[in-house]
Amino acid sequence: GENVEQHPSTLSVQEGDSAVIKCTYSDSASNYFPWYKQELGKRPQLIIDIRSNVGEKKDQRIAVTLNKTAKHFSLHITETQPEDSAVYFCAAPNSGNTPLVFGKGTRLSVIA
Amino acid sequence: DAGVIQSPRHEVTEMGQEVTLRCKPISGHDYLFWYRQTMMRGLELLIYFNNNVPIDDSGMPEDRFSAKMPNASFSTLKIQPSEPRDSAVYFCASSLQAGRNIQYFGAGTRLSVL
């Protein structure tokens, strides 16, 4: 089955700096890669996703890049703000239309 | 739509008691998932349903855990008997497809077993 590894587990950045979180996956047939943000005490919520037919997707200050050859995808947050502090999870399906496998999460702290 | 609705939000019970967690998925979503979240193990998929039918329950930790989906708008996760190690946040999520679409999570149930 799919194995999703996420790094780093914790990340601290100064406000205004960029943050990058990377995930690797094992199943080359995986074709959908979402990123979820979970604020303290809240539910995980999708912030951006990418499908295997594109290499990059942007939405304001966040972007996701996908390298299918290397089987990794990354979340990029620019101009970080204190409200970006949260746990971020990447995910990938086992194969085809099977449930998402989530990474272990990255706790991002943005220091004002 | 009000989103995925879970109840109760918090549950405190004593070891050995039965616990029932409830979930109402988003209308029209064919897939429903139950997750458990702990600091040590992260977000674990316990079981998922497609059109009310359980598809994979391999993540259910023990026979003490059971889940049902009697209709398209309601699912339960039951723990009987409960143990302190079951303490966690339990999330329900729903989506149009299993691994190709956004999963929408409920607010979760924080379970504490004393």
Please answer yes or no on whether B100 and A31 come within 8 Å at the CB atom.
yes
Confidence of residue B98 (pLDDT cuts 50, 70, 90): confident
pLDDT per residue as tens digits for the range A63-107: 999 999 999 999 999 999 999 999 999 999 877 678 899 999 999
A87/chain B closest Cα distance in angstroms: 11
Q: Does residue A28 carry a pLDDT above 90?
A: no
Mean per-residue pLDDT for B50-77? 95
Mean per-residue pLDDT for B40-51? 93
Please answer yes or no on whether A49 and B102 come within 8 Å at the CB atom.
yes
Confidence of residue B20 (pLDDT cuts 50, 70, 90): very high
Q: Are strands B42-50 and B53-56 parallel, antiparallel or unpaired?
A: antiparallel
pLDDT value at residue A47? 97
All residues at 6 or more sequence positions from A110 whose CB lies less than 8 Å from its CB, including other chains: A12, A13, A14, A15, A19, A80, A81, A82, A83, A84, A85
pLDDT value at residue A1? 73
Report the residue count for chain A: 112
pLDDT value at residue A98? 81
Q: Does residue A36 carry a pLDDT above 90?
A: yes
Tokens coding A46:
């999708």
Residues from chain B that touch A94, judged by Cβ atoms under 8 A, are 99
Chain-wide mean pLDDT for chain A?
Answer: 93
Chain-wide mean pLDDT for chain B?
Answer: 95
Which residues does A contribute to its contact with B (CB < 8 Å)?
31-32, 34, 42-46, 49, 89, 92-94, 96-105
Confidence of residue A61 (pLDDT cuts 50, 70, 90): very high
Please answer yes or no on whether A104 and B105 come within 8 Å at the CB atom.
no
> Rounded distance, CA A107 to CA B45, Å?
20
Mean per-residue pLDDT for B41-57? 94
pLDDT value at residue B97? 82
pLDDT value at residue B43? 92
Closest by Cβ to B98, choosing from A46, A92, A97? A97
| Residue showing tokens 């303290």 | A40
Mean per-residue pLDDT for B9-21? 97
| Residue showing tokens 């990340």 | A11
Confidence of residue B100 (pLDDT cuts 50, 70, 90): confident
Q: Does residue B101 carry a pLDDT above 90?
A: no
Please answer yes or no on whether A46 and B103 come within 8 Å at the CB atom.
yes
pLDDT value at residue A96? 64
B99 in contact with A, Cβ within 8 Å: yes
B107 in contact with A, Cβ within 8 Å: yes
Sign of the torsion formed by the C-alpha atoms of A22, A27, A31 and A34: negative
Picking from B45, B47, B100, B109 by the largest number of A CB atoms within 10 A of its own CB, the best residue to mutate is B100
